A and B are shown apart, each in its own frame.
Chain A
Amino acid sequence: MANLTIDGKEYEFPDGTSLFEACREARGEALPHFCYHPDLSVAGVCRLCQVEVEGMPKLTIACNTTVREGMVVHTRSEKVKRASQQILEMHLINHPVDCPICDQAGECGLQDQYMEYGLYESNVTQATKVLKTKAKVIGPQVILDQERCVLCSRCVRFCNEVTGTGELGIFNRGDRALIDVAPGVELDNNYSLNTVDICPVGALTSRDFRFVKRVWMLKSADGVCPGCATGCNVRIDHEGGRVYRLKPRRNPEVNGSWMCDRGRMTYKALHDERRLTEPRRGDQEARWAELQDELATALDKGALGLVVVSPHQTLEEMYLAVRLAGSPGKVVSGPADAGMREGDSLLLDADRTPNRAGLGVVGISELAGKDLAAAVAGARGTVLVLGGDPAADAAVAAALRQHGRVIYLGTHGNETAGCSSLVLPGAAWAEKQGIFVNRQGRWQAFQQAIARPGNAREDWRILAEAVGRQDEEAALGSLKSVRAALAAAVLADPSIDLNKLPEHGFAPGGEN
């Protein structure tokens, strides 16, 4: 441990802690910076995080210094302020200041730090700036503006250290130095949009989000990516009932600061034209009120033959499905190979469903397509299909068609909806709260971001109502009570409050 003084107060940090992180903790906010990133190597090129350390002849950059016993550090002295102003002035010499047309405006490091530490009259009188290439398409997802770049090299380090693909580099010297891809190379990997996130200015911007929305208009909710079993923590940026982009939220236990491009595009399915918005009986649109009695009879304990749960559903919904069916044998999931594709060694899992581990938590077994078809054929009474698209498997589709009394509660008009006599519109992942259990067995809660389309309803509410009709004492009127019942049923320590899961998720029985 090292004892040191930062801005007049004493702190203790473990040996080897970066002075940058120590200052972040001591000040409650980060030092001004462009090139430092907690999940990348230290480059020390932007020179913005300079602090005064007593006994050192000159200012030193905090990112490339480790804490030392007896260090006395000043981060708010006049000397430090002047240094960060001068460095910022230098970064802005050739910056085009085209904020009105820049997608980064509103979340830009140059803007924020100029307002916080800059606010100077520029000493630079030269009228012409060094011109570089603007709006250069460098890959399927990313567009580059070399003039806006401050050469922090975060994107270059990301491609070298995280993906190991090395598409980007810094070319030329001095004020003609620029970021570019080598001739004939494209920034085309499944993690390319992370370079956009870590770019502190508007040099790298997303082609998908380009000119779509100004960022200050967006509201955010904490979500979990539904794209695969990794369960990357995401920020859902939405406005007016529409999701515009997903950004990774830092979780060192799961995804670090990253997420894959494929996962980022999962929001598009929310606004798919195949979304179910109204209940349907056969070809006829129906109203929820008319269906009350029908649902009560069909989902009664005696009448319910089989529940097929998709690994896309939340843990609460899976638990309610088990409660509704009454006996574990009546709840299955499948086909077991649905959603299995090729993964990679970084974040993208071969299993493209977010909550397959949740099936195991509540004790739902997975069946192969053939077995699932047999189970459907042998079911006496209503078959309730919860989400997913089991009928993508031809054998299951045939069995569902043959059976006739099939209720589908899902989000999209797919094969299964076509095989069902009653189709109920449910809520998609961004339209409800819930818990996903990822491939590590980590329970991660996510918030609701947007409203449900049309007359879609939350799946857990439909299930909880049906459970309530079977058992008057169940009284699962709120998600809170569902979670309490879930904790009591499956956790060794039922006192854990599932409404207040830790920020980085919760692994029962494992390390947290």
Chain B
Amino acid sequence: MSFEGLPQGSGAKEKSFKESLYLWEVLRGLGVTLRHLVRNIFHTGEMPTMQYPEEKRVYSDRFRGRHRLTKREDGSPRCVACQMCSTVCPADCITIVAAEHPDVEIEKYPDSFEIDLLRCVYCGLCEEACPCDAIRMDTGIYEIAADSREKFVVDKDFLLNNTTDGTR
């Protein structure tokens, strides 16, 4: 294959000696940096960088953070293990094992309820599908970090009590 006769790219352009030193371009770039430095020193309030974690962005009340399980008045989970959330979940991150509740009025409850926070895509369909308002994503928690994959799989107790930030 031959490239003859094809238009040449900019890389092929011959540079003069002055241009090939890049001296002027380097100085121009340093000038931009210097300008921002001076401006940020005298106008700290306008600086776009946020001093996280001392300072945190304010999100809307509707922000979907980490899930929680709501409780009945007596403290037991509202969840009846109908598995609507795990059915609708596009990431397949909810695993529920149902069991018979001793109280016949409740009948069914989740023996185990696990969410894999690494698989979750935070779409909120689980909240929407829940017929009992048992699962909510209104904690506002988005700092989810851990040092092993297993710790991202959170269980029923964790989701019910929701005391700590991040993962378990």
Contacts and interface: CB of A to CB of B under 8 A. Distances in A.
Interface of A: 98-101, 105, 134-135, 210-212, 214, 216-217
B80 A211 contact: no
Nearest to A133: B104
B87 A211 contact: no
Contact of A100 (B80, B99, B105): B80
A210 B104 contact: no
Q: Determine the interface band of chain B, counting residues with CB < 8 A from chain A.
A: 10 to 19
B18 to A, nearest CB: 71
Interface in B78-102: 80-84, 87, 98-100
Contacts of A217: 83, 87
- Of the candidates B80, B82, B87, B105, the one having the most CB atoms from chain A within 10 angstroms of its own CB is B82
A134 B107 CA distance: 9
A211 B98 contact: yes
- Nearest 7 pairs between A and B by C-beta? A100-B82, A211-B98, A101-B108, A214-B83, A100-B131, A101-B80, A135-B104
9 contacts: A99-B82, A100-B84, A100-B131, A101-B80, A134-B105, A135-B107, A211-B81, A214-B87, A216-B87
Contacts of A210: 100
Nearest to B83: A214
B144 interface: no
B37 interface: no
Contacts of B100: 210-211
Q: Which residue, of A105, A214, A216, A217, has the highest number of chain B Cβ atoms within 10 A? A: A214
A483 B47 CA distance: 79
A487 B84 CA distance: 49
B132 interface: yes
Contacts of B82: 99-101, 105, 214
A403 to B, nearest CB: 48
A349 B107 CA distance: 38
A208 to B, nearest CB: 13
Interface string B114-146: 000000000000000001100000000000000
A217 B84 CA distance: 11
A211 B80 CA distance: 11
Nearest to B98: A211
Interface of B: 80-84, 87, 98-100, 104-105, 107-108, 131-132
Contacts of B80: 100-101
A98 B131 CA distance: 10
A134 B108 CA distance: 12
B84 A211 contact: no
Contacts of A135: 104, 107
Contacts of B104: 134-135
A99 B132 CA distance: 12
A265 to B, nearest CB: 19
Contacts of B107: 98, 101, 134-135
A98 B101 CA distance: 15
A212 B83 CA distance: 11
A315 B131 CA distance: 50
A492 B107 CA distance: 59
Contacts of B132: 100
Nearest to B107: A101
A100 B135 CA distance: 14
A217 B92 CA distance: 12
Of residues A99, A100, A134, A212, which shows the largest number of chain B Cβ atoms within 10 Å of its Cβ? A100
Nearest to B99: A211
Nearest to B84: A100
A217 B131 CA distance: 19
B88 to A, nearest CB: 11
Contacts of A134: 104-105, 107
Contacts of B83: 214, 217
A42 to B, nearest CB: 34
A29 B95 CA distance: 36
A134 to B, nearest CB: 6
A321 B67 CA distance: 58
Nearest to B106: A101
Contacts of B99: 211
A212 B107 CA distance: 14
A214 B84 CA distance: 9
A211 B99 CA distance: 6
Choose among A99, A210, A211, A214 the residue with the greatest number of B CB atoms under 10 Å from its CB: A211
A101 B101 CA distance: 11
B100 to A, nearest CB: 6
B132 to A, nearest CB: 7
Contacts of A99: 82, 131
Nearest to B132: A100
Nearest to A212: B98
A214 B105 CA distance: 20
A8 B98 CA distance: 50
A461 B110 CA distance: 43
Contacts of A98: 107
A181 to B, nearest CB: 18
B87 to A, nearest CB: 7
A135 B106 CA distance: 10
A210 B100 CA distance: 8
